[in-house]
């Protein structure tokens, strides 16, 4: 166990690291952040910020020497430097979990090898025959880069011959994965924690609504059958056990019309779809991550309200005159609403489609709370 009063190192300095630092310091830990870019959101609220490339193993080794345990706030970190530092400090989750999750082909192949339900796919190597892979999977399908994709970046839906030709041109010279397009009922996610002692707890299933490939709303409890919710949590916990997780894992799932589940993606870190836990759950995902990597007892995952909705706040919410920023959102709309909680990320400047913060709204049931959250978002 790494008790309160010790130092946690975080690789990555974005908003997830910022909220992790808030949770860790409340428990009495010191947080040190390692991030290539200076003046990062997480560094602003942490005891120490180190700025250097992840591949600078000398600086990275010196950083971890001052930590009792090290974790991640995002998965797009090269794993080679981690091979060295795992010999110097406790590193959770293990770098192999990170390596699998940061590459779509490795992730899909891992799911297939371990017989977890997944979207049918075909892999295409550099300069491979993408058109043949698309025809093998069939239309419609989605072509994605193998590495480092998020929020819809690096992917293209293919529905006909013209879009097939466009995909062949766009992905030329890249490793890619071709996935069957799933006409799903909804997308859900389960965030599961597993500690170094083997204790496992999963949060209630969240339902996610995306707009232009970016998460827009998360609704808890998910509006799916109780037996499907139970199956989703069981599936996420089984995956966490199989990878021998220490830390947090977000498992994104497609729910089909018949209630069957397909794993879409995994992320070994706190997740955007878990932000509702800050105000709608006894223990937030960030505190649970602290508890898991430090070997503390895992926290209570009971709801504190019948329903919660998380709404992402993008840079589009600011007032713009063309490309010129002319004003802030109406923060009073959120701050004056009972049950609403504002969380901003401390980013230097707003940009369209950039995640700048979120708000959580608690309420009497999922549908009514979602309706209120939509109205509140519109008032921004």
138: CATH? 3.30.1490.20
* Main-chain dihedrals φ then ψ at residue 9, nearest 5 degrees: -95, 140
Structure tokens at 6: 């010790």
Is the peptide bond preceding residue 142 cis, with omega within 30 degrees of 0?
no
Tell me 150's DSSP state: -
Instruction: Give the CATH number of the domain where residue 199 resides.
Output: 3.30.470.20
Instruction: Give the CATH number of the domain where residue 41 resides.
Output: 3.40.50.20
Does residue 54 lie within any of the structural domains?
yes
Mean pLDDT on 13-20: 98
Helix, strand, or coil here: 262? strand
- Quick one: 325 and 204 in the same domain? yes
Q: What is the C-alpha to C-alpha distance for residues 355 and 331, in angstroms, rounded to an integer? A: 16
Structure tokens at 330: 């109406």
**Contact predicate 210/158, CB 8 Å:** no
Helix, strand, or coil here: 20? helix
pLDDT beyond 70 at 153 = no
Does residue 305 lie within any of the structural domains?
yes
Q: Which of 180, 203, 232 is the last residue of a domain?
A: 180
Strand pairing of 307-314 and 355-363? antiparallel
For residue 356, the surrounding DSSP H or E stretch is strand 355-363
Taking the alpha carbons at both ends of the chain, their separation in whole angstroms is 44
Q: Bridge-partner residues for 350, per DSSP?
A: none
How many domains, in total, are found in the chain? 3
pLDDT beyond 70 at 150 = no
Does residue 100 lie within any of the structural domains?
no
Residues 237-254 pLDDT 10s: 999 999 999 999 999 999
- Quick one: 176 and 217 in the same domain? no
Percent of the chain at pLDDT > 90 equals 92
CB-CB neighbours of 192 under 10 Å: 25
Tell me 13's DSSP state: -
* Main-chain dihedrals φ then ψ at residue 250, nearest 5 degrees: -100, 125
Does residue 105 lie within any of the structural domains?
no
Model pLDDT, residue 155: 86
Residues 66-121 pLDDT 10s: 999 999 998 889 999 999 999 999 999 999 999 999 988 999 999 999 999 999 99
Model pLDDT, residue 76: 87
Residues 111-132 pLDDT 10s: 999 999 999 999 999 989 999 9
pLDDT beyond 70 at 148 = no
**Contact predicate 293/20, CB 8 Å:** no
- Quick one: 132 and 67 in the same domain? no
For 169: left if phi > 0, alpha if psi spans -120 to 50, otherwise beta; the answer is alpha
Q: What is the C-alpha to C-alpha distance for residues 194 and 47, in angstroms, rounded to an integer? A: 26
Mean pLDDT on 360-367: 97
- Quick one: 67 and 215 in the same domain? no
* Main-chain dihedrals φ then ψ at residue 372, nearest 5 degrees: -65, -40
Q: Which of 180, 210, 231 is the last residue of a domain?
A: 180
Model pLDDT, residue 146: 84
Helix, strand, or coil here: 292? helix
Residues 301-356 pLDDT 10s: 999 999 999 999 999 999 999 999 999 999 999 999 999 999 999 998 999 999 99
Strand pairing of 69-72 and 90-91? parallel
Which residues have a Cβ under 8 Å from the Cβ of 201 and sit 6 or more positions away?
192, 193, 288, 298, 299, 301
Model pLDDT, residue 347: 95
| Mean pLDDT for all residues in the chain | 95
Does residue 99 lie within any of the structural domains?
no
pLDDT beyond 60 at 149 = no
Q: What is the C-alpha to C-alpha distance for residues 188 and 179, in angstroms, rounded to an integer? A: 18
Model pLDDT, residue 183: 87
Residues 244-293 pLDDT 10s: 999 999 999 999 999 999 999 999 999 999 999 999 999 999 999 999 99
Does residue 106 lie within any of the structural domains?
no
Model pLDDT, residue 71: 98
Residue-number span of the structural domain to which 218 is assigned: 186-379
């Amino acid at each position: 166990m790494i008790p309160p009063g010790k130092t946690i190192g975080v690789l990555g300095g974005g908003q997830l690291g910022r909220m992790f630092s808030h949770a860790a310091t409340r428990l009495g830990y010191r947080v040190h952040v390692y991030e290539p870019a200076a003046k990062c959101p997480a560094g602003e609220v942490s005891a120490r910020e180190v700025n250097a490339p992840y591949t600078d193993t000398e600086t990275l080794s010196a950083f971890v020497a001052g930590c009792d345990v090290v974790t991640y706030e995002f998965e797009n970190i090269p794993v080679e430097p981690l091979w060295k530092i795992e010999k110097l400090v406790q590193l959770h989750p293990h770098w192999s979990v990170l390596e699998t999750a940061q590459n779509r082909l490795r992730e899909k192949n891992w799911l297939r090898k371990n017989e977890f339900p997944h979207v049918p796919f075909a892999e295409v190597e550099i300069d491979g025959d993408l058109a043949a892979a698309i025809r093998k999977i069939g239309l419609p399908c989605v072509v994605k880069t193998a590495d480092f994709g998020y929020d819809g970046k690096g992917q293209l839906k293919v529905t006909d011959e013209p879009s097939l030709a466009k995909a062949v041109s766009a992905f030329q010279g890249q490793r890619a994965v071709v996935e069957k397009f799933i006409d799903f009922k909804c997308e859900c996610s389960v965030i599961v924690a597993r500690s170094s002692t083997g204790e496992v707890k999963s949060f209630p299933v969240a339902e996610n609504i995306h707009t232009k490939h970016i998460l827009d709303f998360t609704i808890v409890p998910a509006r799916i059958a109780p037996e499907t919710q139970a199956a989703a949590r069981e599936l996420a916990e089984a995956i966490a056990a199989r990878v021998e997780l220490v830390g947090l894992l977000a498992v994104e799932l497609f729910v089909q019309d018949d209630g069957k589940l397909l794993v879409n993606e995994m992320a070994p870190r706190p997740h955007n779809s878990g932000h509702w836990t800050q105000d709608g759950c006894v223990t937030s995902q960030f505190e649970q991550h602290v508890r898991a990597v430090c070997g503390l007892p895992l926290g209570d995952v009971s709801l504190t309200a019948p329903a919660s909705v998380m709404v992402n706040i993008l840079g589009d919410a600011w007032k713009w005159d063309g490309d010129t920023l002319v004003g802030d959102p109406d923060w009073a709309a959120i701050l004056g609403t009972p049950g609403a909680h504002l969380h901003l990320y401390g980013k230097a400047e707003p940009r369209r489609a950039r995640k700048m913060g979120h708000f959580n709204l608690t309420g009497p049931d999922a549908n009514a709370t979602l309706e209120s959250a939509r109205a509140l978002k519109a008032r921004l």
